[in-house]
Amino acid sequence: MSSLTLSLRAEQGALVIEALAELPFKTVFDLIGRLNRQANAADAGADADAARAYSVSVPDLQLIVGALRLLPYHRVHLLMDALEEQVAGMGEA
Q: State the pLDDT at residue 42.
A: 73
Neighbours of 16 (CB within 10 A): 25
Per-residue pLDDT at 93 exceeds 60: no
Q: State the pLDDT at residue 40.
A: 86
Place 90 in a pLDDT band, splitting at 50, 70 and 90: confident
| CB contact at 8 A, 20 and 64 | yes
- For 50-84, write each residue's pLDDT tens digit: 899 999 999 999 999 999 999 999 999 999 999 99
Neighbours of 6 (CB within 10 A): 23
CA distances from 67 to 22, 40, 78, 83 (A): 7, 22, 15, 13
- For 10-37, write each residue's pLDDT tens digit: 899 999 999 999 999 999 999 999 999 9
Which among 21, 24, 79, 25 has a CA at the least distance from the CA of 54? Answer: 79
Q: State the pLDDT at residue 41.
A: 85
Q: State the pLDDT at residue 50.
A: 85
3-class SS of residue 51: coil
